[in-house]
Amino acid sequence: MNEYDTRAEQVNDADGDEWPDVSVIVPVYNDPEGLRETLDSLTAQTYPDDAHEILVVDNDSTDDTPAVARSYADDYETVTYLLEDDRQSSYSARNTGIAAASGEVFAFVDADMLVEAEWLVDAIRTFERKDAEYMGCNVEMIPSNGGDSLAERYNLLSGFPIERFIETIGFAPTCCLVVRRSVLEDVGAFDPRLVSGGDREFGHRVRDSGRELHFAPDVTMYHPTRSTTDAILRKSRRIGRGIYQLRLFHPDRYDDRLPVALNPSPYLPPRLETHREMDGWAELTRREKVGFYLLSYGRKVWNGVGRIEESLRRRRNPS
């Protein structure tokens, strides 16, 4: 019996719990270092080994990512390597994991996330205590080693407001989502056509089915900050593409009366009030506040660029 088996047995004996079978699904594309760090933390979980599996789904990477995934699958009985090479989409990769999963509960984790050894135990305890079917975990941003760029500080400040996502927008991001198999059997899996926004669309289907969306503030996961302006703007561009796709594929829920090219909202300056509500805004220098505001404006503009880009892409290739 290894160290983690022993700790899992102690946790189980101490609480007298019967642990549900959990499938942890990790999609990945061209991120060997991020995957290695994530799997280091996932393979150290105190959750009983015989009650969970870790499914790594490579989305047809072109670097060393598949080799990293296979090495963990060789070294750990809990880890399985899967390949999704039919469609370039993280949601398609997640669906491949879902199709292969054996658990009654699914935990979705992105390949750059970090978790502490008790994370899965804490998440499932909270999930069962709430009698939840859909739950988002808390996410804290972690800075890079020695990183102190304006973009990184902006990302730390803006962060991942999971509670607001759940309560105001109606979804939890797939980097920190726990959901019962029965929910997926009822409302369906993720829309594999989407490059972004699939977590939002799925969450809205769950909400519209009458189920409650839960937030677990005490179950924390860790996400690395984006340390460059380019990384932040590229994400906004991808989100913009996803917004256009949501309106294209799901017009009943996301239709916009204005054509994407005529909608001025992405190009209007952001409201200053939204920045003043950020934790730590008051402690920033005037120069930092200006920089943060310009980054927010840039995010909006690149979101609009992504919408136009996807619109032109669809005109060239409607399928």
Residue 316: pLDDT band by 50, 70, 90 thresholds? confident
| Cα 142 → chain centroid | 15
CB atoms within 10 A of CB 40: 11
CB 97 within 8 A of CB 25: yes
Give the model's pLDDT for residue 2: 40
Residue 226: pLDDT band by 50, 70, 90 thresholds? confident
Span 3-150+159-225 CATH architecture: Alpha-Beta Complex (3.90)
Give the model's pLDDT for residue 4: 38
Q: In 3D, which of 243, 118, 141, 131 has the Cα closest to residue 178?
A: 131
Summarize the confidence of residues 1-30 as an average pLDDT.
66
Q: Which pLDDT tens digit goes with each residue over 68-110?
A: 999 999 999 999 999 999 999 999 999 999 999 999 999 999 9
Could you list the beta-strand ranges (E) of the chain: 22-28, 52-58, 79-83, 105-109, 134-142, 176-180, 214-224
Tokens describing residue 250? 């799901």
Give the model's pLDDT for residue 1: 36
Q: How far apart are CA 191 and CA 249, in angstroms?
A: 9
Tokens describing residue 99? 């199709």
Residue 3: pLDDT band by 50, 70, 90 thresholds? very low
Q: Where are the chain's structural domains?
A: 3-150+159-225, 230-316
Q: How far apart are CA 263 and CA 160, in angstroms?
A: 27
Query: Which of the pair, 183 or 160, is modelled with greater confidence?
Result: 183
Residue 67: pLDDT band by 50, 70, 90 thresholds? very high
Indicate whether this model's pTM tops 0.75: yes
